[in-house]
Structure 1
Amino acid sequence: MNNGKKLVLSALLLALVQVGFLGWMIVGRAAVLRDGREVLLKVEPVDPRDLLRGDYVILNYDISRLPLSMIADIGEVRHDLVPTHSVTVRLRREEDGYWRAGGAWLKTPPNPAGADEVDIVGQVPSLNLAHVDGEVRVTYGIERFYVPEGEGRAIERDMRVRPFGVRAAVSSSGTAQVKALMDGENMLFEEPLY
């Protein structure tokens, strides 16, 4: 086989690997949206703009700030310098329909979530747990929601005067995806499956 054919074959193989990887990402996201357990999370907004994708709303959740006392196994790692670390947060549905944190673990929870509970996995940023008191910030990968151009600022303004929420799907492994942005009971925008 000459060098030209090897180069073409290598380029085709590389293209197939890239397409396969992108397909795997899309199918994984769609599987969470389709099969994940749906939860409603209360949001707090910040509104920037992405030059490539347009307007989006950065969403902060009440589950994004956890008291360190809520992390049940914090004592087991308290004196270590912890790099970005996974945390499992157990959500429980409240009477108002929103799901809120009921417990958290840096390691695997000691028992599975109950019928009215969902475990969502987030990331704790780098911090020295031995010197931190109060709260820890957790990100879940659902802090950004894209909206049609020109609508981000209006949504941000409205979020400051009335309650907004996000319907999110959470897979059995704890991965979350935003399904819809809610203005009270009304769905503003729904995320397409693909």
Structure 2
Amino acid sequence: MKRSMQLVVGALIVSALQIGFLFSVIQGRATILRDGAEVMLKVEPVDPRDLLRGDYVRLGYEISSVPRTLFEPPLADADAAKGTPVLVRLAPGDDGLWRPVGARLAETQASAMPDGQVEIAGTIDTAFAAIDQVRLSYGIERFYLPEGEGREIERDMRERPFMILAAIGEGGTAQIKAFFDGKTRLYEEPLY
């Protein structure tokens, strides 16, 4: 009897830990969507698609390619390895779209950030010393759509501007909050 009671208690503890972990992941995303700083980013179309994962569009951004000159301190070739964490400082432009105004390796100390700016966390994909550009990804390069709508939107993205509204939480973690065709809001992510 004592052994079976220990097994039941152990199973309950494991179940509670699993549920707690899932809740923390979902709550973390919802917190960013609810409380994160909102930035509007222009979308650039990217091919291809993965038919096994459902309808989605792959997204690239103007902020996905950052000049090396924005890095403070200057980015050394040895620091530009694939997967290196970085923080890119964004500021709003006159057109309402946010653009990079500074960048740093995540491990370096941040300088004082002016009001109205925000940092987004990313990782280095590639660094091209010859063209003075660093290609970055931010974890928001995919947007899932209702079934059957992905191809049409991918085609339309080549003809007119699309944007996303991203919510950026503390530490720079970004989530896509809404997807726009010009000024028309096509889709909005629910909190849960």
Going from structure 1 to structure 2, the CA distance change for 1:180 and 1:12 (only over 3 Å counts) comes to: same
**In 2, Cα distance between equivalents of 1:62 and 1:30:** 26
Moved more, 59-68 or 177-186: 59-68
**In 2, Cα distance between equivalents of 1:108 and 1:63:** 21
Alignment map for 1:21-40 (pairs within 5 Å): 21-40=21-40
RMSD of aligned alpha carbons: 2.1
Going from structure 1 to structure 2, the CA distance change for 1:80 and 1:33 (only over 3 Å counts) comes to: closer
Moved more, 175-184 or 65-74: 65-74
Q: Which residue matches 2:153?
A: 155
Q: What secondary structure, in the 3-state scheme, does the structure 1 residue paired with 2:95 have?
A: coil
1:135 is displaced (CA, Å) by 1.6
2:66 maps to 1:103: no
Moved more, 168-177 or 32-41: 168-177
Task: Give the number of equivalent residue pairs.
Answer: 188
Q: Which residue matches 1:65?
A: 65
Going from structure 1 to structure 2, the CA distance change for 1:36 and 1:111 (only over 3 Å counts) comes to: same
**In 2, Cα distance between equivalents of 1:80 and 1:32:** 29
Going from structure 1 to structure 2, the CA distance change for 1:83 and 1:182 (only over 3 Å counts) comes to: closer
**In 2, Cα distance between equivalents of 1:51 and 1:8:** 39
Moved over 6 A (4+): none
Which blocks of at least 5 consecutive residues in structure 2 are unaligned?
none
Going from structure 1 to structure 2, the CA distance change for 1:95 and 1:81 (only over 3 Å counts) comes to: closer
Moved more, 134-143 or 2-11: 2-11
Q: Which residue matches 2:44?
A: 44
1:55 is displaced (CA, Å) by 0.7
Amino acid at match of 1:111: A
| Preserved contact between residue 167 and residue 178 of structure 1 (Cα < 8 Å) | yes
Aligned-residue sequence identity (percent) comes to 48
Structure 1, residues 157-183: CA drift from partner, whole Å, max 9, x if none? 010000000000111321111000000
